[in-house]
Structures are given as structure tokens and as C-alpha cells.
Amino acid sequence: MEKERAYPKLRQLDIIPTEISGQKVFALRDPLNLSGKILFLPYHAFFIVSLFDGQHSITDIQVEFMRRFGELIYREKIYELIGQLEQHYLLESERFWNAQNQIIADFKKATLRPMALIGEAYADDREEVKNMVNSFFYPPAGPGLPETPFPPKNLIGVMAPHIDYRRGGHCYAFAHKAILESAAADLYIILGIAHAATKNPYVLTRKDFETPWGVVETDRSFITELENKLSFDPYEDEFAHKTEHSIELQLIFLKSLWPNQSSFKIVPILCGSFHEAVLEGRSPQEIEHIKNFLDSLKTIISQGGRKICLLASADLAHLGLRFGDAEEPNRFSLQTLQEDDLRLLKFVEQVDAEGFYQVIRQERDRRRICGLPAIYTLLYLLQNRTPKGNLLKYSQAFDAATKSVVTFASAAFYS
């Protein structure tokens, strides 16, 4: 405990620069949401916290503060800040480890993955959520309400964003309109993104998923068949499913739009980072565990017997101050970004997994395409099953508060 206070170390957090009442602040968000709160720090306090790396002593921090601001920061002030962070479980400490171990143990024993975003990303009233989702279909921003073509289209895959509904709801609607206008699937294989670091490239869970309209059942027989073919433990990082939003946000659309129709099952998969492959200049197919997973999943899908729809929940570029860039986007850079994104999306339309990846590899992922592993996996699984994909919608969400932009798109694939 003395070591923790003498050399404080900040946990891996989501750190978001923003403004409150015209003042520049930094939001510290815990991916595990242990305290249930976001901590906002002014610039001077955040500078101190940025030195909480387990290597700087309290004296070191005082010296760095003096160098930066030309004034002394008292030890008591630093300890006060340490206490505030500790209260929110934001430091690596015995208190945090005990709390984390307990929630990991509780999650491991549970058979149900509860809603993590209710009251935050969507309301706790199901009718209010349904009305919100329906509103995203309305023109001019939305694609219009789904129709019922006859015969229904045979959709085998779709790409949708996982950005928050406030910024990307209308783009979701383009993808989910394609789902609703097609023959209903028995099984949705949802390829989400693990925003927390994982040891393995793919993460499974056997848990069912809670929604405002009841439980969505996970197809455990499918998952058992898959896990038996894998060369790694797909449950080693299972805790990542607890707070990850990329699968949950798709289920809200799926269930709100047809809660009373025939039931469907899901296979929830979180895709880890392909960063290793990018840095080493290798194809994902040259990484043993990735290749093993891709081929195993493809084999099971090809066996037939079920109407399966693949759903990649994936955003595209992340640029600006929030993501570590020195400059904020401007009108010219946003236009250039759109052109670059649309060139990349040509490979999505061509169902070319390797072409899509090679563009990102050659750029060393300078645009931070967070959806890379899910989109690559989707395209790999769809190759030889469809001649092309259909880009339905491309969008950019610029955030003036964080001086940053996220881009995303929807696409559909038919057999």
C-alpha cells in the first residue's frame, strides 16, 4: 500500500479531452465502470495524473510540476488527488484488484450477460427505446421504413456501425432495414470489437444476452462445435463481454424492431486487435490463432442447416485530439478522410478481405480503423459466397468538444 501511494499508477482508462462551461477538462472513464461515474479533471490536475505511471515518485511529480508551471505543488494536494482516484477505482491498487477479481468471478458464474448501457445509450423504458430506434429510419437522414418485398431478399451478411446512437443511429438504420427486408435468419453471428485489450484474437461467451424485450439466447451448440476446433482458449478474455457495447447496440435494434416475431439465436464474438499483424507486415492469415479461428468458423457455417446472417459491428477511422493527434480535423482533412475511407470501402464492396487489410497495413493504420478485425473476418467468411457487397451509407461524426471525428458505414451482402 505504501508503494502504491509513493509511486501511484493509473489504470488503463478511456481518457477523453472535452470542455465544460468553456473550461478544458479531461474525462476519465473506467471501462469496467466500477464506481458508476466518470471523473472530470481540469488541465493542471490531469498533468499530475499523467505522471501516475508507477515510475514517478511524489517528489518526481513535484519537480515535473514545477518545471511545467513554475510553481510548487504541495504533497498534500497530490495525495488528495490520489485519494480521489482511489475512491473511483482508477489506480492500480489492492482495492482495485480486489474489486476486479470479485466482479470477474461473479461474471464467470453468471449465465446471463446483463445490459451494460441501459440508462446511458438508451432509455430504461422499452417503448421509448422502440420509438427512438424507429425515428432513425425516417427520411431525410434515414433510409425510410422497411418494406416487405416478395420474395424476400437472401441477406447473408451486413456491416453496421457501433458508434453511439446519438451520432450514428441513422447509419444503423440502413443496415437494419436490409435485415428486415430479407428472409428472417435463425442465427446471427455478431462480430463485435473488443475495445479492451485481450490476449487472444477472438473471444467467445456462452452467456445469453439481456435486452429490454427479454433474453436473446446464445446458440451454445454452435459455440461448442466452434470451440472444439480452436487452438486457443476462446474464454480466457471472456470478461471483456461484460461492458463491451458493440454487440449490445446491435441487439437493441434487432429486438426493438421485431420483439414479437419468431425468435432468433446469436453467436456473440468479440474480435481482438490485429495490431501485431500490422506492425509485423504480415497478413492476419499468417497468425496461427487467427487463421485457425477463421477456417473453423467458415467450416461450421458451410455445413448448412440454419439460415445464418453475419453481422459485423464496426466503426472506421478515429482521428483528432481525443485520439492523440496533434491537430484537430478541418474541412479539408475531413474531405480527404472521406475520399480515403471510400477507397477503403471499395474493398468491402468487392468482398476482398486481403485487399481491405493491405490498405490499412500499408498506412500502418494511421486512421485507426477500429473495425479492422470484425470487417476482415466478415469479408473472409463471405468470400466465394457473394459476388459483391452494397455500400448503403457512409457517415462522419465530428465532435466539436473533443476536436475529433469518427467515421462509419453500413453495407449489405446478398447471395
Strand, helix or coil at 274? coil
Give 204 or 184, the one with higher predicted confidence.
Answer: 204
Mapped onto helix, strand or coil, the DSSP state of residue 368 is: coil
- What is residue 298's predicted lDDT score, i.e. its pLDDT? 97
Instruction: Specify whether the CB–CB gap between 153 and 181 falls below 8 A.
Output: yes
Pick from 18, 20, 21: nearest CA to 29: 18
Structural contact between residues 370 and 379, judged by C-beta atoms closer than 8 angstroms: no
**Ramachandran angles phi, psi of 402, nearest 5°:** -105, 0
Tens digits of residue pLDDT in 3-34 = 567 899 999 898 888 878 778 899 998 988 88
Compute the distance between CA of residue 334 and CA of residue 357 in angstroms, rounded to an integer: 22
For residue 351 the three cell numbers come to: 468482398
Q: Which residue has the higher pLDDT, 259 or 304?
A: 304
Mean pLDDT on 223-244? 96
Strand partners, 404: 320, 399
pLDDT digits (tens, 9 = 90+) for 279-320: 999 999 999 999 999 999 999 999 978 899 999 999 999 999
pLDDT single digits (tens) 100-125: 899 899 999 999 999 999 998 999 99
Among 142-151, 184-193, 293-302, the minimum mean pLDDT is found in 142-151
Residue 262 confidence (pLDDT): 62
Q: How does residue 1 score in pLDDT terms, banded at 50, 70 and 90?
A: low
Instruction: Give the pLDDT band of residue 247 (cuts 50, 70, 90).
Output: very high
pLDDT tens digits for 120-140?
A: 899 999 999 999 999 999 999
The mean-pLDDT minimum among 43-52, 77-86, 98-107, 147-156 falls in 147-156
Assign 196 a pLDDT band (cuts: 50, 70, 90): confident
Whose cell is 471501462? That residue is 31
Q: What integer pLDDT is reported at residue 2 of this predicted model?
A: 56
What pLDDT score does 148 carry? 79
> Where does the pLDDT of residue 37 fall: very low under 50, low under 70, confident under 90, or very high at 90 and above?
confident
CB 195 within 8 A of CB 239: no
Tell me the pTM. Answer: 0.89
Task: Report whether pLDDT(396) > 70.
Answer: yes
- For residue 393, the cross-strand partners are 410
Mean pLDDT of the chain: 93
Average pLDDT over residues 357-371: 96
Domains of the chain are 2-104 (3.90.930), 111-414 (3.40.830.10)
Q: Does residue 40 contact residue 50 with C-beta atoms inside 8 Å?
A: no
Contacting residues for 333 by C-beta, under 8 A, at least 6 apart: 319, 327
Whole-angstrom distance, CA of residue 197 vs CA of residue 100: 15
